[in-house]
Structure 1
């Protein structure tokens, strides 16, 4: 089933999609939803195109790769199009450093550090606009610091009407509002803490907005959440390979998909999405960020690391260590 508080998700069961509800309302089945969790998916697992490149070096040369940043060179955000809260929240960290716990055989010399400090800032990150594809895969490595608390929003893929001018922002904002199928849709891979019931930062979930999503009982449209029936809590202090996929639907049809993998393991694959009604609307902007505002977050400083970001047209898989 699915639930909602403010603008954060719970889950989708294997047998049905459910109407989003507030934390004080009982959940109930939405039996006519076309969205389904696929029990026996044929999507790939384990190694992907990244297995051809040691530590992702030269991975951008692969024909299926749209964008890649391993943060090994350049200034903050030099390969990205927009930067949020650069001075207060973003920095690079280099090895050797016991604070990063970075594996030099996989992640190289440098990674991105995002520091969110309660009552001072909400964290920050980067956004990249790109030429899209019918099927997209986004892979990145992340690590939550040993003391990191709950994170509100994480890494989001958004569909905008174009890559230029004001239309490139058409997929941003709109919390609580039903998207127009010609204007926008989005999906984010995020940690979710089940209203403080799971150890921070929680468990992985999708948090998605699209024009046929379900409303909450307050009549507003908060993101619908999707996760498998069970999965382990996210471990802090360890680097995690996160990958997610979106398949664009035939405009107006319920044949869109999304899926995510953790360390090369497929955790969930959902079909039946009617993401868009326009053939020119594509997911074309990735925001990589750690955004902290949750009411259950008590830790004053919350640090998250990122590395080895890749956007591609086919399954990427974990980075290959040096041999």
Structure 2
């Protein structure tokens, strides 16, 4: 009966395992007292005494014997920890040579990714420090729970996405970041006399990068490290490890570590098990098999039971758990920043067998019954199966595609998904098809295919189709190097006082004065609108004195709620040369902005703004020109000075290996006024032929030319940040070869007001104004110079 009741107690506890294994569970003393009371009631019952009493004097020794038996059982089950067990004063219950129970924690931190748009290494390291402060709190939580060891996930510092965007700047960040991690987390675990496993990329002096798991001892010092061996193709720009080290400890036994994709290969944990690992710590960001979540979960359990090891899985956001050598999930973390905690015997828990083979440690038989001589094919780098499945992607392609998927890919996918939600089915289909081509063999490719299948339009990724030829007749012959264009002093607007009727001029492609319709109708008129929760856009009575209208458009960006909004329109016909005039007024308390009004061309043209931040165009797909205030890292008062923020295929790359918009500025800063209407006009002209560099850019402010850039214009040194025009000296500009295919033309205008906290930080402003207002009015896009409104 006692055996039956002990088994029932174990069954009851397994059914309530999560309650006793979370950090917030009742104290060990309370659990032990409840268990002891229950046992005392049972052992002193008449039935129990009658069954186990051979004479009247056996009650006390029998009770003590069975009490110890029950305490050992509860400890093995994990109801009490080694420390709690020791508090009972029953030290003699641990037989000679038997190790005490060990309390293990698997952390499940919430996502603390460091944004890939951060460019300044000092800012990145400051963010690392903030993340480490949070991680230290998790360490202390584990210490307060009396953990003996704790594991953090892969990419512990959250730098992975940033690294994908800044491959040439890793040496400026990784050494300092890893040192901070080992120093700070080492001190934290040392204060609790606790082991720690953490994981992050590290860079060698020769520039090679290892995905590395670090094992720190109870003193906070490094015991050893493991370099990830098995890399997915897109990770092969990193250096592989070439072994599976096992670190011997007196209390944890043999300790091994694997990282993420390693577990997909059954050979990896088997190597550790054969090397003497009793526990494998598994920091990861993914699963242990290719397939659905339940397949991966089953694979992780299988890796534990087929190798007779404890598996400690630590994963960001979800999936952290501890698995026994019998493949049973002992405990799982419940939410962000939780810790899965279990008490284990690293040297036990491996009993099992079948009708003909029962072992207290199954490794004694099965690892001896292997036939290593038959396993030679496992070390063959070119097994016969590879002849059936040729490579579909080079390493360089995979690395490049994955880098974009980790950075801009998700944003691009969300844009396509938004089209679907808005009922723009044809546009969504085109967007998903393009995503499949750009992000092939990634999750974006897979999920885009699922969307297309649902829409009944699943097709193989297609190449971008060419746009229709330009029939505008505008363009003209190239001009001599550096010669300013011969624009009339008075533009189209001079023929239409107050702009009345200007929209009917055949040279005008698009005009908007915000005088008619609702905000919803405005969005339909343009074709694409971003007005989150209806709080960004509103009509205003604040208008320019020369305007014949009574309304302007106010856009308000509210940090913490939105990043502003936009109106986007696809021009009615594609052209080689365009002039875009708009009036703008910034608020008296205007802050720095992130991006502003933009025009350019997409091939094929789209009814929505495309992504591409940090990516150099190919030459036949797109070019864009932003007309933006630029703070120059705080040198100019907010909102900044006017500049062109440009993307084209001959732009210069940044030091981080990415291609951020090249900033082109006039010789003298053109500061943006606050609380004052200003007339802004930009001219963009394509190169006349694919092999010509005679494209141009020009800017007018209140009817006066502020900047003209063409071949031969004198410029400063040209870097990935761009260049400035110079009044004397400098170097001749090579000219704009905006496109390599004359089917790529100018076909969109984007009225954008985009504000982020990053804009303030880049300009060394702490606590940016959370409310950022700007007004727009009297927009005209034409094939000829427009000029200011005439009274």
- Normalised by the shorter chain, which TM-score bucket? 0.7 to 0.9
Give the alignment partner of residue 773 of structure 2, picking from 303, 310, 318: 303
Residue 172 (str. 1) matches residue 619 (str. 2): no
**Which residue of 2 is the match for residue 32 of structure 1?**
none
**Which residue of 2 is the match for residue 181 of structure 1?**
619
Q: Which is further off, 83-92 or 123-132?
A: 83-92
Residue 91 (str. 1) matches residue 538 (str. 2): yes
- For residue 51 of structure 1, give the secondary structure of its aligned residue in structure 2: helix
Q: Structure 1 residues 40, 238: closer, same or farther in 2, change over 3 A?
A: farther
Paired with 2:638 and 2:486, the residues of 1 have a C-alpha distance of 29
Q: Structure 1 residues 107, 187: closer, same or farther in 2, change over 3 A?
A: farther
Q: CA deviation at 1:162?
A: 3.0
**Which residue of 2 is the match for residue 10 of structure 1?**
none
Over residues 93-112 of structure 1, what are the superposed CA-to-partner deviations in whole Å (9 max), with x where a residue is unaligned?
Answer: 12xxxxx3x33432510000
Residue 153 (str. 1) matches residue 595 (str. 2): yes
Q: Is the 8 A contact 1:162 1:168 kept in 2?
A: no
Paired with 1:306 and 1:232, the residues of 2 have a C-alpha distance of 19
**Which residue of 2 is the match for residue 19 of structure 1?**
none
**Which residue of 2 is the match for residue 215 of structure 1?**
653
**Which residue of 2 is the match for residue 113 of structure 1?**
554
Q: Structure 1 residues 319, 6: closer, same or farther in 2, change over 3 A?
A: farther
Residue 195 (str. 1) matches residue 612 (str. 2): no
Over residues 265-294 of structure 1, what are the superposed CA-to-partner deviations in whole Å (9 max), with x where a residue is unaligned?
Answer: 111111110111111111211110211011
Under a length normalisation based on structure 2, what TM-score does the superposition of the two structures give? 0.34
Paired with 1:46 and 1:172, the residues of 2 have a C-alpha distance of 35
Paired with 1:150 and 1:253, the residues of 2 have a C-alpha distance of 37
Q: CA deviation at 1:45?
A: 6.3
Q: CA deviation at 1:196?
A: 1.5
**Which residue of 1 is the match for residue 672 of structure 2?**
234
Q: Is the 8 A contact 2:642 2:665 kept in 1?
A: yes
Under a length normalisation based on structure 1, what TM-score does the superposition of the two structures give? 0.81
Q: Is the 8 A contact 1:90 1:113 kept in 2?
A: yes
Q: Is the 8 A contact 1:143 1:238 kept in 2?
A: yes
Q: Which has the higher strand share?
A: 1
Q: Is the 8 A contact 1:116 1:291 kept in 2?
A: yes
Larger radius of gyration: 2
Q: CA deviation at 1:155?
A: 0.4
Give the alignment partner of residue 44 of structure 1, picking from 475, 487, 492: 487
**Which residue of 2 is the match for residue 267 of structure 1?**
706
- Segments of 5+ residues of structure 1 without an aligned counterpart are 8-21, 26-37, 95-99
- Segments of 5+ residues of structure 2 without an aligned counterpart are 1-116, 120-168, 173-480, 711-734
**Which residue of 2 is the match for residue 97 of structure 1?**
none
**Which residue of 1 is the match for residue 353 of structure 2?**
none
Over residues 284-319 of structure 1, what are the superposed CA-to-partner deviations in whole Å (9 max), with x where a residue is unaligned?
Answer: 111102110113461110100000000100000001
CA RMSD in angstroms comes to 2.2
- For residue 569 of structure 2, give the secondary structure of its aligned residue in structure 1: strand
Q: CA deviation at 1:57?
A: 1.1
Q: Structure 1 residues 289, 168: closer, same or farther in 2, change over 3 A?
A: closer
Q: Is the 8 A contact 1:107 1:307 kept in 2?
A: no
Residue 247 (str. 1) matches residue 685 (str. 2): yes
Residue 80 (str. 1) matches residue 519 (str. 2): no
**Which residue of 2 is the match for residue 206 of structure 1?**
644
Q: Is the 8 A contact 2:558 2:771 kept in 1?
A: yes
Over residues 224-277 of structure 1, what are the superposed CA-to-partner deviations in whole Å (9 max), with x where a residue is unaligned?
Answer: 111111134211000000000111112232111111110011111111101111
Q: Which is further off, 181-190 or 245-254?
A: 245-254
Q: Which is further off, 116-125 or 247-256?
A: 247-256
Paired with 2:548 and 2:770, the residues of 1 have a C-alpha distance of 28
Q: Which is further off, 41-50 or 254-263?
A: 41-50
Residue 291 (str. 1) matches residue 734 (str. 2): no
- For residue 287 of structure 1, give the secondary structure of its aligned residue in structure 2: strand
Paired with 2:482 and 2:593, the residues of 1 have a C-alpha distance of 29
Residue 64 (str. 1) matches residue 534 (str. 2): no
Correspondence list, 1:25-36, <5 A: none
Q: CA deviation at 1:80?
A: 0.4
Q: CA deviation at 1:42?
A: 3.2
Q: CA deviation at 1:39?
A: 6.6
Residue 224 (str. 1) matches residue 657 (str. 2): no
How many matched pairs? 280
- For residue 106 of structure 1, give the secondary structure of its aligned residue in structure 2: coil
Over residues 7-26 of structure 1, what are the superposed CA-to-partner deviations in whole Å (9 max), with x where a residue is unaligned?
Answer: 9xxxxxxxxxxxxxx9xx9x
Q: Is the 8 A contact 2:604 2:621 kept in 1?
A: no
Q: Structure 1 residues 126, 168: closer, same or farther in 2, change over 3 A?
A: closer
Give the alignment partner of residue 282 of structure 1, picking from 742, 745, 761: 745
Paired with 2:518 and 2:690, the residues of 1 have a C-alpha distance of 39
Residue 314 (str. 1) matches residue 755 (str. 2): no
Give the alignment partner of residue 124 of structure 1, picking from 557, 561, 565: 565
Over residues 50-87 of structure 1, what are the superposed CA-to-partner deviations in whole Å (9 max), with x where a residue is unaligned?
Answer: 01112111001112101101111122224201001251
Paired with 1:39 and 1:145, the residues of 2 have a C-alpha distance of 36
Paired with 2:538 and 2:638, the residues of 1 have a C-alpha distance of 23
Over residues 146-167 of structure 1, what are the superposed CA-to-partner deviations in whole Å (9 max), with x where a residue is unaligned?
Answer: 011111111011311134xxx5
- For residue 55 of structure 1, give the secondary structure of its aligned residue in structure 2: helix
Of structures 1 and 2, the one with the larger relative CO (CA 8 A, separation 6+) is 1
**Which residue of 1 is the match for residue 395 of structure 2?**
none
Paired with 2:760 and 2:678, the residues of 1 have a C-alpha distance of 25
Q: Is the 8 A contact 2:546 2:789 kept in 1?
A: no
Q: Is the 8 A contact 2:528 2:607 kept in 1?
A: no
Paired with 1:109 and 1:295, the residues of 2 have a C-alpha distance of 33
